[in-house]
Amino acid sequence: MAKKILRLKEVKTRTGLGRSTIYLLIAQGSFPRSIALGERAVGWLESDLDECINERIRQSRQHGRDD
């Protein structure tokens, strides 16, 4: 199965989070780390991002939130 790499613009669209929030969550250990694509380019594995989103959904529902 092929791995898909998402750039920041798509990560922001899929999560609804801004750039600074994404990097803050990475620093806190609660968001997938980016992977280096080049000297000045990074991306995220789509599968890692999907796991993170699904975990946030599970946590939200356990705490009685339906947002």
CA quadruple 48, 54, 59, 65: dihedral, nearest 10: 140
Per-residue pLDDT, averaged over 42-57, amounts to 96
- Residue 2's pLDDT is what? 81
Per-residue pLDDT, averaged over 19-30, amounts to 97
pTM recorded for the entire structure:
0.84
Q: Work out whether strand 42-45 and strand 35-36 pair parallel, antiparallel, or are unpaired.
A: antiparallel
DSSP E strand boundaries for 1-67: 5-6, 35-36, 42-45
Taking 90 as the threshold, does the pLDDT of residue 36 lie above it? yes
Spatial contact of 22 and 58, defined as CB atoms under 8 Å apart = no
